[in-house]
């Protein structure tokens, strides 16, 4: 979406001056972040710098103590998480949340059904449509041949892909991913980059990662956090040249 007069892309997500404290700790201390539609935005920074807290504030898992968050033209600062999700915000946490005792197919089915009315579910043509959508989703994430296996039997990387696939069934406008490649093998990381790339056609992404090579490869812009503040923000090339960022990464990470 672009501003009609200036032609400048309008931000899909606009975080301004967001603060969050836990007791005496300032986990977020006046954070600004702007993400445009169909872009991949990386969030990096040392352990405890506030990355997960920021994603949770955007998704509504925590409420900001101060500041504003706008999403797709609306102020969502005090909106409940379920409403934010209905507007097109989807968060996948650091820890996998698939149901291990259910088969892979049924995990995706449950995620899809969460958005259907009971009457829609009872219609047989709707069930056929669901089957097509589940198969297509599993195929896209290289999981079709594992459809009947228990989700708990998948490798760690495949479980992460399943969870991303489940998040995408909600057709979000913005997907928030917290360390999706944590614990993955190098081969699974490479495959994750390839699986995420096509999402850009219909969805923007904010992704937290410690693997700098991975994040530089897939993101358009990077925001660097340190001690609950934004240390720097820019294109991948700008951040690579940033003296402030180099200082933090060479002395503390
Ligand atoms: N629910 C909570 N209660 C108290 N303190 C918290 C809570 N959540 C986070 N914190 C603290 O807030 C600070 C920021 O934590 P956060 O999890 O956002 O960091 P992070 O950048 O995601 O770190 P990591 O890279 O290790 O995942 C840390 O000092 C953390 O201990
Ligand atoms: Mg974290």
The yes-or-no verdict on residue 155 having pLDDT over 70 is yes
Please give the pLDDT value at position 253: 61
Domains of the chain (ranges; CATH) run: 1-88+175-253 (3.40.50.300), 96-170 (no CATH)
Most confident of 52-61, 95-104, 113-122, 176-185: 52-61
Q: Report which of residues 124 and 167 the model is more confident about.
A: 167
Quote the mean pLDDT of the chain: 89
| pLDDT tens string 75-111 | 999 999 889 988 999 876 545 578 999 999 999 988 8
CA distance 20 to 208: 18
Of 190, 192, 189, 188, nearest to 205 by C-alpha is 192
pLDDT score of 129: 77
Candidate from 52, 211, 223 with most ligand 1 atoms within 8 A of CB, to mutate: 52
- Encoding tokens for residue 147? 């459809």
Query: Is 52 close to ligand 1, i.e. is its CB under 6 Å away?
Result: yes
- SS3 call for 61: coil
State the closest ligand 1 atom to the C-alpha of 55, by its place in the atom list counted from 1.
18
Per-residue pLDDT band at 175 (split at 50, 70, 90): very high
Q: Which atom of ligand 1 is nearest to the CA of 54?
A: 18
Q: Is the CB of 42 under 6 A from ligand 1?
A: no
The yes-or-no verdict on residue 172 having pLDDT over 80 is yes
Instruction: Answer yes or no: is the C-beta of 48 below 6 A from any ligand 1 atom.
Output: yes
Nearest residue (by CA) to ligand 1, atom 19, is 48
Looking at residue 250, what is its pLDDT? Answer: 75
Angle between helices 186-196 and 156-168 (to 10 degrees): 10
Ligand located closest to 211 CA:
1
CB 72 within 8 A of CB 87: yes
The CA distance from 154 to 99, in Å, is: 11
- β-bridge mates for residue 31, sequence order: 18
- Gap from CA of 140 to ligand 1 centroid (Å): 33
Q: What is the pLDDT of residue 40?
A: 96
Answering whether pTM is above 0.85, one says yes
Q: Is 27 in the pocket of ligand 1 (CB under 6 A)?
A: yes
For 21-74, write each residue's pLDDT tens digit: 999 999 999 999 999 999 999 999 999 999 999 999 999 999 999 999 999 999
- Strand-pair category, 229-235 with 221-226: antiparallel
């Amino acid at each position: 979406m672009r501003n009609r007069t200036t032609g400048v892309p309008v931000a899909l997500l606009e975080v301004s001056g967001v603060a969050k404290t836990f007791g005496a700790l300032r986990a977020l201390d006046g954070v600004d972040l702007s993400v445009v539609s169909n872009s991949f935005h990386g969030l990096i920074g040392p352990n405890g710098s506030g990355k997960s807290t920021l994603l949770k504030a955007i998704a509504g898992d925590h409420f900001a103590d101060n500041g504003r968050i706008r999403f797709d033209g609306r102020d969502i600062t005090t909106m409940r998480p379920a409403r934010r999700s209905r507007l097109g915000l989807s968060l996948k946490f650091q820890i996998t949340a698939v149901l291990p005792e259910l088969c892979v197919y049924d995990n995706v089915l449950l995620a899809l059904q969460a958005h259907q009315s009971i009457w829609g579910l009872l219609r047989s043509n709707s069930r056929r449509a669901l089957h097509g959508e589940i198969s297509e989703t599993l195929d896209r994430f290289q999981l079709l041949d594992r459809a009947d296996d228990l989700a708990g039997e998948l490798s760690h990387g495949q479980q992460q892909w399943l969870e991303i696939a489940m998040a995408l069934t909600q057709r979000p406008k913005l997907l928030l991913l917290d360390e999706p490649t944590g614990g993955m093998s190098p081969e699974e990381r490479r495959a994750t980059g390839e699986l995420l790339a096509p999402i850009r056609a219909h969805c923007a992404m904010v992704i937290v990662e410690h693997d700098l090579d991975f994040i530089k490869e897939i993101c358009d812009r990077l925001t660097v956090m340190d001690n609950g503040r934004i240390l720097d923000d820019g294109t991948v090339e700008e951040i690579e040249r940033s003296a402030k960022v180099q200082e933090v990464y060479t002395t503390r990470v």
